[in-house]
Every structure is written in structure tokens, then in C-alpha cells.
Amino acid sequence: MTYDTDALVIKAQNTGENDRLVTLLTRKYGVIRAFANGARSPKNKNASATSLLCYADFTITKTAKGICIVKESTPKEVFFSLRSDIIRLSLAQYFAELSGELAPREEAADEFLSLLLNAVYLVSDSGKPLQLIKAAAELRMLSLAGYMPSLLGCASCGIYETDEMRFCPHSGKLYCADCTPPEVFVPVPNSVVHAMRHICLSEPGKLFSFRLSDENLLLLCDLSERYLLAMTGKRFATLQFYKTMTR
Ligand SMILES: [Zn+2]
């Protein structure tokens, strides 16, 4: 069986003497793991395309035993400017790790791959605040993976919005002040509620097109991260590293 698809390398591990085991987010088949024999040799034809965070066209064959092997590859974008900025690189690596957790497997991942590519592109080469890109990528990836928070109104009485809504990062539910349960809930200004709705519901091309004050951006970033950690129940090494670098 042969796969022909474009993909972003979301993980690259050394294996054997000179080989790589890559995890790819492919457009046509979702997340795939494949061996690239000899790819750590600089002269190898697959050396560039199988590097972490390289976007490329791949031809992959699957053996009778179910092992995938990279046969051909043509790099399309290596995000060169990322490589010289450790903070931006670590954020892009976090998006890659997140994709490995949340992206589809053995089914098409067109929208997920486009989202990841846009996020990595914006991190590498735009003036947008990194907190905005991070929160938008997190919430949108969660939404695509079936964890969209319930943002269309108070989870109890259904009112669309009041002056002081509250968000529960453990359940993803929104409440008005009258209905807020006794647990710890975070007051959320309407501008942040609007930004969260925009992230979850906008057309893909407009996802990153919103603005917030610095203070509200920090709140959005904190809420989206807490919600993500609650939904995935995971610790992401790349997120820890990014946060260490930006502390
Ligand atoms: Zn209510």
C-alpha cells in the first residue's frame, strides 16, 4: 500500500545507526508514524523533509507487517526563521506535540493540518502576540477533536450573556452570575467570551483575526491552557519548556 500526501513532521526520533522514526500529521490519513532509513545522514534524499517541523510532500509505503517507510519526500517549507528563536521554536514544538495528541488517526485531517500549519507559520513569521496564537490554536484544536467548550450561553438558564459571565476551565461551561455553582469559577469579561466564541466557531481563515487588551489576552491564554490540560489530562513537556522560557 502506498500513501501520497503532504504532511508536517510533528515528531522526529533517532533510531538505528542513521535512521529516523517520524510522526507525521498528514492531510489525507491523519497521524502516521514512519521510518526514514538513513535520514540522519546529511546527504540522504529524505534528510531535510524528515526533520522536526518540516512541511513536505511524502510518498510512504506500508509493508505487509504494517510498518510505514518514507520512500520519497519533497520539502515545501522548513520554517527557517523559527530555528533561531528558542521561544518561538518551543511554542511551535508544543503545537506539534498537541497535534500528536488531538489530531485524527487513519482518517483525513485536512482542517487540522491547515490549522497547525497556520499556527506554526504565524509563530515563525508574524507580529501577532504569541499568547493569542497559543490560545487560538489550543481552543481550536480542542474543538476539532470534539472538546469544544459550551460557550453559547449560561449552562443553567441559557441566557446568552450578562455583564459578568463566568467560565469553568474544568468543564468548559459558561454561567451567568446568578447561576454560578459554588465551585471556583473565573469571572470572564464579555470581550474574552466573544474571543473564545470566535476561536471555536469562526471560519478557518479568520481564526487568528481578533484583538484583546494585554490583560484580557493573558486571561484568555490562562483559561484556554487550563481547559486544555483538564480535557487532555496530560502533561506536555514542550509546554513546560515554553513556559520556562517565557517566565
Ligand atoms: Zn444563568
Q: Is the dihedral of CA 203, 210, 99, 171 positive or negative?
A: negative
The alpha carbon of 219 and the centre of ligand 1 are apart by a number of angstroms equal to 22
Can you give the pLDDT at residue 181? 82
The alpha carbon of 151 and the centre of ligand 1 are apart by a number of angstroms equal to 12
The shares of helix, strand and coil residues in the chain, as percent rounded to the nearest 5, are 40, 25, 35
Can you give the pLDDT at residue 184? 65
The alpha carbon of 138 and the centre of ligand 1 are apart by a number of angstroms equal to 26
The alpha carbon of 160 and the centre of ligand 1 are apart by a number of angstroms equal to 9
Give the residues of the chain that fall short of pLDDT 50. Answer: none
The alpha carbon of 172 and the centre of ligand 1 are apart by a number of angstroms equal to 15
Can you give the pLDDT at residue 106? 87
The alpha carbon of 148 and the centre of ligand 1 are apart by a number of angstroms equal to 20
The alpha carbon of 97 and the centre of ligand 1 are apart by a number of angstroms equal to 37
The alpha carbon of 199 and the centre of ligand 1 are apart by a number of angstroms equal to 23
The alpha carbon of 83 and the centre of ligand 1 are apart by a number of angstroms equal to 48
The alpha carbon of 141 and the centre of ligand 1 are apart by a number of angstroms equal to 28
Provide the pairing of β-strand 68-77 with 173-176: unpaired
Q: Which CATH class is domain 2-129+235-246?
A: mainly beta
Can you give the pLDDT at residue 68? 96
Name the H helices within the chain: 86-102, 110-124, 130-144, 190-201, 214-232, 237-246
pLDDT per residue as tens digits for the range 185-219: 789 999 999 999 999 999 999 999 999 999 999 99
The alpha carbon of 229 and the centre of ligand 1 are apart by a number of angstroms equal to 26
The alpha carbon of 179 and the centre of ligand 1 are apart by a number of angstroms equal to 4
| Angle in degrees, CA 25, 147, 211, rounded to 5 | 85
The alpha carbon of 136 and the centre of ligand 1 are apart by a number of angstroms equal to 26
**What is each CA distance from 44 to 50, 63, 122, in whole angstroms?**
10, 21, 30
**What is each CA distance from 159 to 171, 188, 195, 210, in whole angstroms?**
18, 15, 18, 24
Can you give the pLDDT at residue 190? 95
The alpha carbon of 230 and the centre of ligand 1 are apart by a number of angstroms equal to 23
The alpha carbon of 194 and the centre of ligand 1 are apart by a number of angstroms equal to 17
Domain ranges of the chain: 2-129+235-246
Can you give the pLDDT at residue 185? 78
Can you give the pLDDT at residue 162? 92
Can you give the pLDDT at residue 202? 95
